Amino acid sequence: MVDDLSLTRVEDRSGDVDPKTSDWLWEIDSAGYYTYSNARVEEILGYRVDEILGAHFFDVVDPREGPEFSAIVTGATREKAPFRDVPRRSRGKDGREVWLETSGTPLLGENGVLIGYRGLDREVTERWLAPWPGSPIGVTGESISLDAEPCVWRWDRHDDETVNLSRVVAESLALLPAARRSRVITSLARDLLPITGSPADLRRVVLDLLASAGAAVASRGSIAVTTENLYVDEPTGRDERIEVGEYVRLTVWVSRPPRGLAVREMRLDSGLTTTTTGRRVRLGLALARTIIRRHDGHVDVASEADRAIRVDVYLPVDRDVLRESQFEGMTGGCETVLIVDDDVEQRELATRGLRSLGYQTQAVVSGEEAVAYLSRREADLVILDMVMPPGIDGAEAYRRIREVRPGQRAIVVSGGAESDRTRAAQTLGAGAYLRKPVTLAALARAVRRELDGGKGR
């Protein structure tokens, strides 16, 4: 593991960096282009420093690399968060395969604006290309026995409590032998909303998914585990129907499984056996699915690029556990806020939360209704959902609102990543963009900031 001190050594490039270091030290700008590199890049990848400067961060990633590396790094960039020891398959100048462990820490300018990343890469080719040390994973403890068949546990149901899923994943990984744990890439969100469930049962789900993934990757495959808050703004799902709502999502990526293992064979069915290059792999995950369903959750399995397999576990957010302490330290007001959202639960959450802070609130279900409302009445701030089918979206609604209320302030919320439509609304004058699911604390801060002097006028 690379600590913060190792990364901050880059600051004084002239004298503080150990000239004997074997690490490739670098900096990139906010667009991902290299602005600094030490000479170790030539020893590791074969490129001179002048050849790497101006190249993009992903230019040296092998085209065959699965989607999980990009997902982890872009996710960290979106959150302005560090990433640590993330393996990436690269291609040297001479065409040879080179495996690196990449670590980076964000560089922030005034007002917290991301101006780039500073980091290092450590070559781990010899270790990474070593065969997977045993498969399936094999862990004992907490009445778990993941030996030949990941699904053959004794399941003792546990009491429910408030759970942070990132902590559950970290605790699960700690149960693995170090050699196996080192082959798992992780990107665990630090701000997960709470779910209600059994930590012990959820650890069993994580361990079973890892065991099955370990059985599938072969010697050169890789496993990645991520957690994130997610808002589903329209029903989705391939194996199961996932309804509109707020979720915490656990994703297990399996890249480059051996030939013969198709995504349809990695379903959550009891007793499923596949043959992969002469070796039989048990992928029975029926108990994991039972536990997930008991938590009112869903599982979705998909095939990604480069023969990768992706397993998504959706667990519903429990808003009730936030209500006791969610108002502590928040600043409210007495202004009028118009909430525009087609999701009744989101409208009620925002309405209830902002009223508790003293705001006067009104709510409508579409962009058209928002325009009609503001044609007759005033509001100090509008909170606009970006996606409201089948009517106009938030950007078009805001354009029409500005025609009747030229100085109208607004913030925008959406269940998806920031898009061209979001930026279009901001170009018109809207302020902050918030990605659903939104905590009341984040919403209260954005509302107060915009009312106290945001750019919408």
Q: Which two tokens stand for residue 378?
A: 């005033």
Residues 229, 338, single domain; the answer is no
Say which amino acid occupies 324. E
Would you say the C-alpha torsion 175, 65, 69, 125 has a positive or negative sign? positive
Residue 456 counted as domain residue: no
Long-range contacts of 82-90 (CB under 8 A, 24+ apart): 82/7, 82/106, 83/187, 84/1, 84/2, 85/1, 85/2, 86/185, 86/187, 87/124, 87/128, 87/185, 87/222, 88/61, 88/62, 89/61, 89/62, 89/64, 89/65, 90/45, 90/60, 90/61, 90/62
Which residue, 61, 68, 1, is CA-closest to 32?
61
* Residue 438 within any structural domain of the chain: yes
Q: Which amino acid is at 364?
A: V
Q: Hey, what are 308's tokens?
A: 């990768």
- How many domains, the chain? 3
Same domain, 105 and 252: no
Please give the residue range of the domain that contains residue 235.
Answer: 140-319
Same domain, 13 and 152: no
Coil vs helix vs strand at 21: coil
C-alpha span between 34 and 407 (Å, rounded): 41
Phi and psi (nearest 5°) for 435?
A: -95, 130
Residue 40 is inside which H or E element, if any? helix 40-45
d(C-alpha 282, C-alpha 259), whole Å: 16
Residue in 132, 142, 54, 129 with CA at minimum distance from that of residue 87: 129
Same domain flag for 312 and 370: no
The pLDDT score that the predictor gives to residue 235 is 85
Contact predicate 75/417, CB 8 Å: no
The pLDDT assigned to 271 comes to: 31
Residues 198, 81 share a domain: no
User: Is 404 among the domain residues?
Assistant: yes
Of the candidates 289, 308, 311, 166, the residue with the CA atom closest to the CA atom of residue 237: 311
Instruction: Note the pLDDT of residue 56.
Output: 93
**Is the domain of 37 the same as that of 12?**
yes
Boundary (domain end) residue, out of 100, 128, 156: 128
What are phi and psi for residue 451, nearest 5 degrees? -70, -30
Question: Do β-strands 381-385 and 410-414 pair in parallel, antiparallel, or remain unpaired?
Answer: parallel
User: Does residue 134 form part of some domain?
Assistant: no
In sequence order, the β-bridge partners of residue 363 are 339
CATH of the domain at 202: 3.30.565.10
Closest to 379 measured CA to CA, from 348, 421, 333, 425? 333
Residue 407 buriedness (CB in 10 A; 0-12 / 13-18 / 19+): exposed
24, two tokens: 């490739």
Query: Final residue of a domain: which of 288, 319, 350?
Result: 319
- Clarify whether residues 302 and 374 are in a common domain: no
Is pTM beyond 0.85 here? no
In a domain, 133, yes or no: no
Residue-wise burial string across 19-45, b where 16 or more C-beta atoms lie within 10 A, e elsewhere: eeeebbbbbbeeebebebbbebbbebb
| Token pair of 148 as six digits | 């030949």
- Using CA atoms, how far apart are residues 73 and 76, in angstroms rounded to an integer? 5
Same domain, 206 and 122: no
Let me know whether 186 and 230 are in one domain.
yes
In a domain, 389, yes or no: yes
Residue 44 sits in a domain whose CATH number is 3.30.450.20
Evaluate whether 258 touches 277 at the Cβ level (below 8 Å).
Answer: yes
Predicted confidence at residue 22, as pLDDT, reads 80
CB within 8 Å of 343: residues ≥ 6 apart:
233, 244, 385
Instruction: Kindly state whether residues 303 and 203 are assigned to the same domain.
Output: yes
Q: How far is CA 266 from CA 25, 191, 252, 275, in A?
A: 40, 30, 12, 12
The full DSSP string for 130-198 is: SPPSSSS---EETTEE-SS-TT---------EEE-HHHHHHHHHHTS-HHHHTTEEEEE-SSPPPEEE-
Distance CA 357, CA 191 (A): 22
Question: What pLDDT does residue 141 have?
Answer: 30
Check residue 321 and report its DSSP letter.
G
Q: Smallest Cα–Cα separation from 167: which of 182, 152, 149, 186?
A: 186
Q: Which of 319, 341, 366 is the last residue of a domain?
A: 319
User: CA 9 to CA 384: how far, in whole Å?
Assistant: 44
The pLDDT assigned to 146 comes to: 29
pLDDT at 417: 66
Q: Does residue 223 sit in helix, strand or coil?
A: strand
Q: Are residues 346 and 415 located together in one domain of the fold?
A: yes
At 306 the pLDDT is 53
Pairing of strands 410-414, 433-435: parallel
| 153 and 275 together in one domain | yes
Specify the pLDDT at position 3. Answer: 37
* pLDDT tens-place values along the chain, 457 residues long: 333 333 333 344 433 344 556 899 999 999 999 999 999 999 999 999 999 999 999 888 877 665 667 777 887 888 888 887 777 888 889 888 888 888 899 999 888 899 999 999 998 877 665 544 333 333 333 322 223 333 333 344 456 788 999 999 988 888 777 767 777 888 888 888 899 988 888 988 888 888 777 766 655 567 889 999 998 888 888 778 888 889 999 998 877 544 444 433 444 433 333 333 333 333 446 667 778 888 999 988 876 555 567 889 999 998 776 654 455 567 788 999 999 999 888 898 899 889 988 899 999 999 999 999 999 999 999 999 998 988 999 999 999 999 999 989 999 998 876 678 888 999 999 998 998 888 888 888 899 999 988 544 4
Residue 346, domain member (yes or no):
yes
In a domain, 135, yes or no: no
